[in-house]
A and B are shown apart, each in its own frame.
Chain A
């Protein structure tokens, strides 16, 4: 079980959290004008990297607030957690 640091509550066990998938995917502003391919990319296509991955988590059985995390999908180690609206911390891109 992972130990996840909620930016509001501190370190808590994984079973208190739900993962909300890839982070920083903005909903297209003008959906009516979007091509089917671009809409499919927004809805279904994912980066799914082996390495560092930015994703959304919610502290469901705690403060119930959403936040973002960068995690290495090869080792499952968390690199950083940060609040919604904040930018991905510098230095968390690319390979560990």
Chain B
């Protein structure tokens, strides 16, 4: 069923009691052409584009918990493409262009709102680093501009640009096409789209092992809901990638850390854009519900606990209170952690693994949400054709052996 003005009106007249389920809940079949492990945004997007663009409709998405219950539902929904290197610019800009048409593509309102992402500079190093990013972005055709403190305040009136605070604002880099989207809707929209194309989405189904044929290639996947034969598997398990890959006997160049976020009580619209500060580590925006959505830092140790130290969030709130003094009296409602899989160079890993038929898409670290459509799009191509999409090729696992790292530590914006 397509959403339209007519369908909204019809269902309104029947008190919204007759909306059909948006996707099926099928039993797993004994065999598929390909299996995606992980039902978050990236996994569901991968399945959607495999079905839509590569006509691979006999595929399944296996999710240990529920759709979008991991980092897809835990992030701060920031979308931008102002990364430094050409390889990163290509993939994040690819994603941003897909975001711009995503609601229409999926016939599902993902509430993409390009309200501008402003990154604050507090010292000479920040100024030099951000200007370098701005020039690099412009060479890649990506919008990014330098603002003086007064221009930054004009763009975001609640901002405190006093010169006597601990970390004064000395300028800002603004990507106007950046913004936010509704994270749950992204998972649900892709799930609905993939389901309509025939993809089986199987929740509460954990992968417990992999079976290989005599040549060492993938032959089947063992799950808590039975054995499924398949020749191609794409692992999109975010923070738990190392755990899943260990079941295939592979080590990964990843470490998993808790990254925290929190929201305040809802208030009327006050904060018009996304503001990020790498140096004092805070990022903030206001959701359409009115909550301030605040991103904090990662803990310093490997953990899968989906919670983090309170001193990490307290540190971020210190910074928020100084940057936006009127938020000092806001009450915080909820805080939580998501487990982010980080690589040494803060860039993702997309592509083949040493096991034939086993593909992996991971290492998005603290900034994977923004890449969701682009990540799924190039990973679908990679699995379908068995070779890396040109945009994904530089992000191959093999770069850690060749040394061709893509160091985005400065652009990743979360100190870790």
Contact = CB atoms under 8 A, between A and B. Distances in A.
Nearest to A39: B401
A47 B253 CA distance: 9
Most chain A C-beta atoms within 10 Å of own C-beta, residue among B310, B344, B400: B400
Contacts of B243: 48-50
Interface string B296-310: 000011111100011
Contact of A46 (B255, B310, B311): B255
Contacts of A75: 305
A2 interface: yes
A37 B301 contact: no
Contacts of A76: 301, 303, 305
A53 B246 CA distance: 15
Contacts of A48: 242-243, 252, 254-256, 302
B305 A44 contact: no
Contact of A14 (B251, B255, B309, B403): B309
A41 B309 contact: no
A1 B315 CA distance: 13
A59 B251 CA distance: 29
B301 to A, nearest CB: 4
A29 interface: no
B255 A1 contact: no
Contact of A73 (B254, B300, B303, B311): B303
Most chain A C-beta atoms within 10 Å of own C-beta, residue among B246, B344, B401: B401
Nearest to B312: A1
Most chain B C-beta atoms within 10 Å of own C-beta, residue among A21, A22, A44, A48: A48
B346 to A, nearest CB: 12
A38 to B, nearest CB: 9
Interface string B159-187: 00000000000000000000000000000
Most chain B C-beta atoms within 10 Å of own C-beta, residue among A2, A21, A37, A76: A76
Contacts of B253: 40, 44-46
A5 B128 CA distance: 41
A74 B309 CA distance: 14
A36 interface: yes
B14 interface: no
B352 interface: no
Given A18-B300, A71-B301, A73-B302, A47 B251 contact: yes
B402 interface: yes
Contacts of B309: 1-2, 14
Interface string A66-92: 000001011110000000000000000
B240 interface: yes
Contacts of B310: 1
A63 interface: no
A36 B302 contact: no
A45 B253 CA distance: 4
Contact of A50 (B254, B304, B343): B304
Contacts of B402: 36
16 contacts: A1-B311, A18-B300, A19-B300, A36-B403, A41-B251, A44-B253, A44-B344, A47-B242, A48-B242, A48-B256, A48-B302, A50-B242, A55-B302, A73-B256, A73-B301, A73-B304
* List of 10 A-B pairs having minimum Cβ-Cβ separation, nearest first: A48-B242, A44-B253, A19-B301, A19-B300, A40-B401, A40-B400, A44-B400, A50-B304, A45-B251, A36-B401
Given A21-B302, A48-B256, 5 more contacts: A14-B309, A45-B253, A48-B302, A75-B305, A76-B303
Interface of A: 1-2, 14-15, 18-19, 21-22, 36-37, 40-41, 43-50, 53, 55, 71, 73-76
